[in-house]
Structure 1
Amino acid sequence: MYLVDSNVLIEAKNRYYAFDIAPGFWEWLERAHRAGRVFSIEKVEEELLRGDDELAKWAQGHHSFFRQLDQRTTQYFSRLSEWARSQNFRPAALHEFTAEVADYLLVAFAAAHSCTLVTNEVPVKPP
């Protein structure tokens, strides 16, 4: 199962798979979701709905694509927080990751449900 970050959908819409250029991508995404192979979480849906564009409209029409967090996911929060604190992250980066944002929740959900997390996030080396 593939768990999709908002930046993947945003980048697809903005660059490679715009709705008017590559509607087949969005159709494939819907088929893959119906087959249980790809989805995201409600926090990602919230991020997408903040926009005023085709992707926000797509998210509105595909509510089932976005799953709720469950108890299985919340059980990973303390373990994930401990791991993050044990790394050599700058305090600001650690705070940003562990705040109530999608990245932290996506990682916890992926761990809890054995998903492959699909994201465009990359590590940033400290100066």
Structure 2
Amino acid sequence: MANSKRTLFLKRRLRVRNKLKARNVGGIRLSVHRSNKNISVQLIDDVQGITLASASSLEKDLGVVGKNNIEAAAKVGAAIAERAKAKGVEECYFDRGGFLFHGKVKALAEAAREGGLKF
């Protein structure tokens, strides 16, 4: 029986997240979510269960409202790197969820790395 795209996505997301949590116990997680219209990212402290910082293409000050392209992803990545530095976070681990590390997700990660985040 063929698996649906959604089922494969959920399996991939669990596989990625479980491997990351096993290797990076107590670390800060940079979690990415990409929809058809927007892209968002959060810095999450799993030990305390809180979100330290977030950035999204829905924010008006980034100037990419409603856009979901590589340029928007790069601006969101730069914004999260800036906000992470303001919170004192320099290292995290990159949780791409079930999304492939390609295109928008890759552009976001590279912009965050250029902004000073290490992962």
For the criterion TM > 0.5, the same-fold answer is no
Larger radius of gyration: 1
The structure that is helix-richer by fraction is: 1
Output the TM-score relative to the length of structure 1. Answer: 0.29
**Whose relative contact order is higher, 1 or 2, with alpha carbons under 8 Å and at least 6 apart?**
1
Output the TM-score relative to the length of structure 2. Answer: 0.30
